[in-house]
Chains A and B, each alone.
Chain A
Amino acid sequence: MQGETISRDFPAIDAIIKKYGERKEFLICILQDIQARYGYLPREDLERVAEKLGIPLIQIYSVATFFKAFSLRPKGGHTIQVCLGTACHVRGAERVLSKIKRDLDIDVDETTKDMNFTLKTVNCLGACALGPIVEIDGKYHGNMNTTKVESVLKKYSTKMKE
């Protein structure tokens, strides 16, 4: 798989599973922790979780594909989240999203070829006063418009080169 660089770290996965007492009702929390660690859910890890919790792999996949928070593919160095909440929408979030898509030449849920950016959308970040909002790696960029997109993206492109 493209961008697969992490060698599987089962002790870390086992520690996560142990933290939740190896109880299967904490499956979502376990997956969240794995996702937070690697940015996505590697298949080998899911197999490990299935084995440890004693549940079929397909059941894990049904959860992993149901919830928006999980990704089965590796993410880029920076994750961009464009807020498409109603307040951002009426203030022109769609135009901002289109501009980012054009500039990066990717669609939502895709990663740029250089693995620098992954583009996501989010339903509401609850910082509506600053809408339209674009969140990059947890930092909020408020009152966005098509003009601002370029300068904001630039900051993260150069940072990666350094």
Chain B
Amino acid sequence: MEKIESPLELEKLRKSIQSKKKKEKTFISICAGTGCRASGSESVINAFKEEIKFLGLQNKVGVKVTGCHGFCEKGPIIVIHPKEIFYHNVEKEDVMEIVSETIIGGKIIDRLLYVDPTTGKKITKESDVPFYNKQKRIILGNNGKIDPTDIEDYIALGGYSALSKVLFKIKPEQIIEEVKKSGLRGRGGGGFPTGRKWESCRNAKGKLKYVICNADEGDPGAYMDRSLLEGNPHSVLEGMIIGAYAIGSKNGYVYVRNEYPLAVKHLEIAVNQAEEYGFLGKNILGSGFNFSILISRGGGAFVCGESTALMASLEGKPGEPRAKYVHTVEKGLWNKPTTLNNVETWANIPIIIHKGASWYSKIGTEKSKGTKIFSLVGKINNTGLVETPMGMKLREIIYDIGGGIPNKKKFKAVQTGGPSGGCIPEELIDLPIDFEKLTEAGSMMGSGGMIVMDEETCMVDVAKYFLKFLMEESCGKCVPCREGILQMGEILENITKGNGQPGDIELLEEISTVIKDTSLCALGGTAPNPVLSTIRYFRNEYDSHIKDKKCPAGVCQALIQYSIIPKKCIGCGACLKQCPQNAITGEKKQPHIINPEKCIKCGACYDVCKFDAIKRV
């Protein structure tokens, strides 16, 4: 491939790719994101390739291995284009039938269709599935249409046209104006206006400037950045190149989590291809603008999601943050002006340029514009990635898109914002989700994790979970974070062990205030949030643990007992065999009993019982 040297050449190439693609009328798009891979999509892909080759259909039917489609719960997922037939939970054994029946015969295979749980109706088209049709997928949408390892797929869908537009038609200052006008705010957590960040960096003194993509997605339960990098890496790169041009930077970095091997691989391929085609490197598209990107893999430290810690790590040092009296837009990486944005933020840029700020700013609420990708996980029927306009009500996300809570359990709360966020209780289910509303509710947007919790989730345990997480991830540089979180963790440990004291809640609140006020970086500054928000909305549960020594949700080991409900037990002996302590006794076909003195509360009997005969109170 020769480098593209002008916008005209790019358009020529685009047309030729598009006309080449038109010949391939039918193609099967198979999700190979991490979720679907874990469910076995690779064997499905191979089976399709073999079957199509066996039947000699290579020229008529394409197999497109794509990134994450978002509906991870139902993986492996396939979509047959152009009819958009949506099959889920596909196994390699289904492949022969799909090819002969659907692709050749044009018939729909009923059992692979999605059944709408509320109406009981079977749905054929992907866009009719409620999980998808309530979303607005401007960022994620192309994931299902492109092979992320093939730059031409991205180009065919209009890729790099925003870059070509800015390089030849728009001045850097105007790009920044456009981004400011769009109202885009950082998607990594803080929600700082992106255009203003760029402007400060452009105006900062110094010739050498850096652009960084923060792909150190550390919030547990959030994986939208990974899916974007895996499924549509060029959209992120294009955003970065536009940003670099606007700011006046020649060097960029992507700092990506090493725990995401597929994302790293796709990113590397994308950077290489972008260089080969002339979107990266010297004299991009013949404009005279130079920009290169290096990929750096993270070392597995949560704190490196914080900008100054990330930059320290990029410099080859331990990832410790510094105080931000001087902003990173003035003194960042190697003490040079640096613009750092999150993966999803970068991916928004080409769309804003392409469709215009006024189009973009019509989406969302007054102060939060555009869409946001959430990862809807936990106790929810439709686990997956969901992109909605800012301001959508929590109820719509959880029930209309998420399909509600499994096993007929009751919704209790949703945790947003990761370890820096908080829990939103059921009474706020009609809350419109945007930056402001989440902060008012004592939580935060964060990177967009939404962990749904049902009545079997203990809120004290959740608070303890996050504190333990932060205790391990605190870099230890400043005392309030290092020692304060430790102390709070100990208090919570005591409470969940039945050793809580009156006054513990007040003490937690007091320590929280100190940590918030005096920590060096946002990790410490927001660390008390999970505790404070659970105290705010679930104080009763704390009281039950402290006063009554009970865990109402049946989670905290020290406060629960396992027992067998005689009426439900058929005496199958499954639990007896599983019990590591020989604490269960009973004759065959007679109800068994658990000896509480021997029981270590491991839960093995609860997991193995098929008759719901084990009670956990």
Contacts and interface: CB of A to CB of B under 8 A. Distances in A.
Contacts of B299: 28, 31-32, 63, 66-70
A123 B377 contact: no
A127 B221 contact: no
Contacts of A133: 38
B465 A122 contact: no
Interface in B296-321: 296-302, 313-320
Given A68-B300, A123-B469, A147-B604, A128 B318 contact: no
Contacts of A70: 299
Nearest to A83: B220
Contact of B378 (A31, A67, A128): A128
Contacts of A68: 299-301
A71 B604 CA distance: 32
B603 A90 contact: no
A90 B379 contact: yes
A90 B259 contact: no
B38 A29 contact: no
B451 A129 contact: no
B218 A28 contact: no
A86 B415 contact: yes
A4 interface: no
Given A67-B301, A128-B383, A29 B296 contact: yes
B377 A128 contact: yes
Contacts of A147: 578, 604, 607-608
Nearest to B218: A123
A28 B316 contact: yes
Nearest to B72: A129
Contacts, number: 154
Contacts of A26: 296, 316
A114 to B, nearest CB: 21
A89 B38 contact: no
A69 B73 contact: no
A90 B316 contact: no
B220 A85 contact: yes
B316 A25 contact: yes
A130 interface: yes
Contact of B296 (A28, A62, A128): A28
Contact of B377 (A84, A122, A131, A140): A131
A91 B379 CA distance: 7
23 contacts: A25-B316, A28-B296, A28-B298, A31-B299, A63-B299, A66-B475, A85-B221, A86-B220, A86-B377, A86-B418, A89-B465, A90-B378, A92-B607, A99-B602, A102-B602, A126-B217, A126-B227, A127-B38, A130-B35, A130-B39, A142-B38, A146-B604, A147-B607
Interface of B: 34-35, 37-39, 72-73, 75, 217-223, 226-227, 258-261, 296-302, 313-320, 375, 377-379, 383-384, 415, 418, 449, 451, 453, 457, 462, 465-466, 469, 473, 475, 578, 580, 602-604, 607-608
Which 8 pairs, one residue from A and one from B, show the smallest C-beta to C-beta distance? A67-B299, A126-B223, A85-B220, A128-B377, A68-B300, A129-B72, A129-B383, A87-B377
